[in-house]
Chain A
Amino acid sequence: MNETPKPNSFRSGPDEDGRFGIFGGRFVAETLMPLILVLQGEWEKAKNDPAFQKELADLGAHYIGRPSPLYFAERLTEHLGGAKIYFKREELNHTGSHKINNCIGQILLAKRMGKTRIIAETGAGQHGVASATVAARFGFPCVVYMGATDVQRQAPNVFRMKLLGAEVRPVTAGHGTLKDAMNEALRDWVTNVDDTYYLIGTAAGPHPYPEMVRDFQSVIGTEARAQLLEAEGRLPDVVIAAVGGGSNAIGIFHPFLDDDSVRIVGVEAGGRGLQGVEHCASITAGTPGVLHGNRTYLLQDGDGQILEGHSISAGLDYPGIGPEHSWLHSIGRAEYVPIMDDEALDAFQMLTRLEGIIPALEPSHALAEVIKRAPKMGKDEIILMNLSGRGDKDIFTVGKILGMEL
């Protein structure tokens, strides 16, 4: 393979066809193609419109609660005895995760486009709750597709969505997880093209979604970068985030991509181990393929059939990953590592006891990587981790595994 020269910037993608290197693109049925072209045009206009940006910022400040704090985890740092650990506290956002950042942005776009109905897919239910929330706030009817397995293991979020007025449609195809929910949402969209806005929750899907979701989530990294410069007068040595589809990760990574000294680490769900099929480590153990509108790393068999995967965390239980992550991996700008179910569970408990913060199982994967790395680093070094969601939704899952009565 020819050596590709280092790009001037790692932040200029995608190109006009929505490609990050060979990844990304617009692999959709003709029915949807005109819609995503219109969406792209509207998004281009909106992002350059000061009125849109002002409304986004106002809602960010007063509805979501931005900026989210940057928190020095003193006791965890002491306990691990190495690098200083900072958390970007996205779990303190309204609705309890980073998902709301993207939902507020896209609902403003839907309103601008004159759409009257919102559909969304959800895995852990965090994006479903955030979608139902913004739909309630802006007066849209909302249908959320959720795998039947996830409906079972994320019951509190199902109830929240219903309280918010959304209709939750369980999807029984496949293993009944995020992939199947996304298929069903696409089928809805292809059927209801005139009035419906598809609010994709992660930085994946056909162009312009990966770019748009990234831009809405980049507020995380932009704030964290400024906050850390303020607190420490320097940039972090490592930035770590969990990756399912990868929206919280690309949100915190993107503003640091051109800072050469900053190592970027994405943490994939290693599930029960990478030997078999019970994991969701698309980059570590997958191969490039085309699914849900984009080319990216996928878990698939030799015939190109998509595998189901497994993770303790519903939010990471997806056989693909956002295309920009695949590109960052392919050019070596970011590294991606797996964390197993039990390691995430240990990290979940450690943070709860040491810092009084109950994290979601998704960022518990990132935390487990922090726990591995921090002791090997110097005390003058800094790790920044995206604490992307709170763990209230996971207490039933965790309780069951730990054998605790609830």
Chain B
Amino acid sequence: MTARMDKRFAALKAEGRPALITYIMGGDPDFETSLGIMKALPDAGADLIELGMPFSDPMADGPAVQMAGQRALKDGQTLAKTLELASRFREGDTETPIVMMGYYNPIYVYGVERFLDDVIASGIDGLIVVDLPPEMDDELCIPALAKGVNFIRLATPTTDDKRLPAVLKNTSGFVYYVSMNGITGSALPDPSLIGGAVKRIKGHTALPVCVGFGVKTADHAKAIGAAADGVVVGSAIVSQIAGSLTKDGKAGPDTVAAVATLVRGLATGVRAARLVAAE
């Protein structure tokens, strides 16, 4: 499983540009539309896909992602269905890495061993679990690594140099740098600060460092991409979905197209990033 992700980052490195990592909430606004969006992402320019696992109490997420999770749960999304989304996607795409992102409780209730087996069977390449810091590695991180599933860790501005080695120790795939102290979807911080932070992390690891939280436009993607190995966009995408829904909250005629349009714009930004860096 680690192979697909490593291969993708190696190819991007050869291409000389950062990755565009797009987040969608599994099952938002419904299973079939979510699958349609997921299938459209690579063509629109997404290099990796983060697939959100809805949770009733997403404590690190802002209103946009909270509402996306609520829409999905209301439509009957479960962890089993999110795994199914990934395997349905894999039927037509064996190249684009998928990272599942969410909170621990649904996984814990599903059963860690059973979950990891199903993750592998569904063609998922990595996991990001927000509420499992390194202190809790025995829960899921170590079992995941033992089975060859990447465990991607978040590093934040509060993760100082003393703590960084502990955070990076069992991290694989890439490091997700959270660009600010806060919840998802907040305002983007100063890109120049982010460059320093990425450099600091790179001093401790050879893994790609991708940056998220607050990236909303092609210009943001370009500015952040100049300093990082990848740019994560989440809230902007789920907001785009929200904006395309009908009055009663169902998928609209343009929901998939609206997301594809946004992602194409972001992809342009990412592809221009290193030109900026080279100037």
* Interfacial residues, chain A to chain B (CB-CB below 8 A): 17, 25-35, 173-174, 179, 183, 186-187, 190-194, 287, 289-293, 295, 298, 300, 302-306
Given contacts A26-B136, A31-B181, A183-B59, contact A304 B79 (CB under 8 A): yes
* B43 contacts chain A at the CB level, 8 A cutoff: no
- Inside 8 A of A287's CB, which chain B residues have their CB? 109
Across the interface, name the chain A residue whose C-beta is closest to B159: A30
Which of B103, B104, B135, B136: most chain A CB closer than 10 A? B135
* B106 contacts chain A at the CB level, 8 A cutoff: yes
Across the interface, name the chain A residue whose C-beta is closest to B132: A27
Contact assessment for A190 and B154 in the assembled complex, using a CB-CB cutoff below 8 Å = no
* B271 contacts chain A at the CB level, 8 A cutoff: no
Contact assessment for A302 and B105 in the assembled complex, using a CB-CB cutoff below 8 Å = no
Contact assessment for B131 and A303 in the assembled complex, using a CB-CB cutoff below 8 Å = no
Known: A27-B133, A28-B133, A30-B178. 10 other contacts (CB 8 A): A29-B131, A29-B133, A30-B133, A33-B159, A35-B158, A183-B57, A187-B183, A193-B181, A303-B79, A304-B109
Contact assessment for B57 and A291 in the assembled complex, using a CB-CB cutoff below 8 Å = yes
* B262 contacts chain A at the CB level, 8 A cutoff: no
Given contacts A173-B66, A186-B59, A291-B105, contact A193 B158 (CB under 8 A): yes
Given contacts A27-B136, A29-B131, contact A305 B56 (CB under 8 A): yes
A10 → B minimal CB distance (Å): 25
A-B residue pairs in contact (CB < 8 Å), sample of 26: A25-B136, A26-B133, A26-B136, A29-B60, A29-B131, A29-B133, A30-B155, A31-B154, A173-B66, A183-B57, A187-B60, A187-B183, A190-B59, A191-B181, A193-B181, A287-B109, A290-B104, A292-B57, A300-B109, A302-B109, A303-B78, A303-B106, A304-B105, A304-B106, A305-B106, A306-B57
Contact assessment for A289 and B108 in the assembled complex, using a CB-CB cutoff below 8 Å = yes
**What CA separation (Å) do A35 and B156 show in the bound complex?**
12
User: Using a CB-CB cutoff of 8 Å, which residues 44-82 of chain B contact chain A?
Assistant: 54-60, 62, 66, 73, 78-80
Contact assessment for A30 and B66 in the assembled complex, using a CB-CB cutoff below 8 Å = no
B138 → A minimal CB distance (Å): 10
- Inside 8 A of B109's CB, which chain A residues have their CB? 287, 289, 300, 302-304
- Interface code B130-145, partner A: CB below 8 Å = 1, 0 otherwise? 1111111000000000
* Total interface residues in chain B, CB < 8 Å: 43
A296 → B minimal CB distance (Å): 11
Contact assessment for B60 and A290 in the assembled complex, using a CB-CB cutoff below 8 Å = no
* B190 contacts chain A at the CB level, 8 A cutoff: no
Contact assessment for A306 and B156 in the assembled complex, using a CB-CB cutoff below 8 Å = no
**What CA separation (Å) do A320 and B56 show in the bound complex?**
14
B114 → A minimal CB distance (Å): 13
* B182 contacts chain A at the CB level, 8 A cutoff: yes
User: Using a CB-CB cutoff of 8 Å, which residues 97-133 of chain B contact chain A?
Assistant: 103-110, 130-133
Which of B66, B105, B160: most chain A CB closer than 10 A? B105
- Inside 8 A of A295's CB, which chain B residues have their CB? 108
Across the interface, name the chain A residue whose C-beta is closest to B60: A29
Across the interface, name the chain A residue whose C-beta is closest to B160: A34
Contact assessment for A293 and B110 in the assembled complex, using a CB-CB cutoff below 8 Å = no
Contact assessment for B106 and A292 in the assembled complex, using a CB-CB cutoff below 8 Å = no
**What CA separation (Å) do A289 and B139 show in the bound complex?**
12
* Residue of B54, B136, B182 touching A191 (CB-CB under 8 A): B182
Contact assessment for B167 and A30 in the assembled complex, using a CB-CB cutoff below 8 Å = yes
Contact assessment for A17 and B135 in the assembled complex, using a CB-CB cutoff below 8 Å = yes
Contact assessment for A27 and B57 in the assembled complex, using a CB-CB cutoff below 8 Å = no
**What CA separation (Å) do A26 and B167 show in the bound complex?**
15
**What CA separation (Å) do A190 and B156 show in the bound complex?**
11
User: Using a CB-CB cutoff of 8 Å, which residues 183-199 of chain B contact chain A?
Assistant: 183, 186
User: Using a CB-CB cutoff of 8 Å, which residues 165-221 of chain B contact chain A?
Assistant: 167, 178, 181-183, 186
Contact assessment for B186 and A191 in the assembled complex, using a CB-CB cutoff below 8 Å = yes
Contact assessment for A292 and B135 in the assembled complex, using a CB-CB cutoff below 8 Å = no
Contact assessment for B178 and A31 in the assembled complex, using a CB-CB cutoff below 8 Å = yes
* Residue of B66, B79, B133 touching A33 (CB-CB under 8 A): B133
- Inside 8 A of A289's CB, which chain B residues have their CB? 105, 108-109
**What CA separation (Å) do A193 and B134 show in the bound complex?**
19
* B153 contacts chain A at the CB level, 8 A cutoff: yes
B123 → A minimal CB distance (Å): 22
User: Using a CB-CB cutoff of 8 Å, which residues 221-267 of chain B contact chain A?
Assistant: none
**What CA separation (Å) do A35 and B54 show in the bound complex?**
27
Given contacts A291-B57, A304-B107, contact A33 B135 (CB under 8 A): yes
- Inside 8 A of A190's CB, which chain B residues have their CB? 59-60, 181-183
A20 → B minimal CB distance (Å): 15
**What CA separation (Å) do A300 and B163 show in the bound complex?**
34
- Inside 8 A of A293's CB, which chain B residues have their CB? 131
Which of A26, A31, A298: most chain B CB closer than 10 A? A31
- Inside 8 A of B108's CB, which chain A residues have their CB? 289-290, 295, 304
**What CA separation (Å) do A178 and B165 show in the bound complex?**
36
- Inside 8 A of B163's CB, which chain A residues have their CB? 33-34
B118 → A minimal CB distance (Å): 14
- Inside 8 A of A174's CB, which chain B residues have their CB? 56-57
Contact assessment for B131 and A290 in the assembled complex, using a CB-CB cutoff below 8 Å = yes
A176 → B minimal CB distance (Å): 14
- Inside 8 A of A179's CB, which chain B residues have their CB? 57
Across the interface, name the chain B residue whose C-beta is closest to A207: B135
- Inside 8 A of B154's CB, which chain A residues have their CB? 29-31
B104 → A minimal CB distance (Å): 5
- Inside 8 A of B160's CB, which chain A residues have their CB? 34
**What CA separation (Å) do A34 and B183 show in the bound complex?**
17
Top 10 A-B pairs, shortest CB-CB distance: A304-B109, A304-B106, A191-B182, A305-B56, A31-B156, A33-B133, A303-B78, A304-B105, A27-B131, A306-B56
- Inside 8 A of A28's CB, which chain B residues have their CB? 131, 133
Which of B59, B106, B107, B130: most chain A CB closer than 10 A? B59
A123 → B minimal CB distance (Å): 15
Contact assessment for A304 and B110 in the assembled complex, using a CB-CB cutoff below 8 Å = yes
B224 → A minimal CB distance (Å): 19
A174 → B minimal CB distance (Å): 8
**What CA separation (Å) do A179 and B105 show in the bound complex?**
15
- Inside 8 A of B156's CB, which chain A residues have their CB? 29-31
Across the interface, name the chain B residue whose C-beta is closest to A303: B78
**What CA separation (Å) do A252 and B213 show in the bound complex?**
44
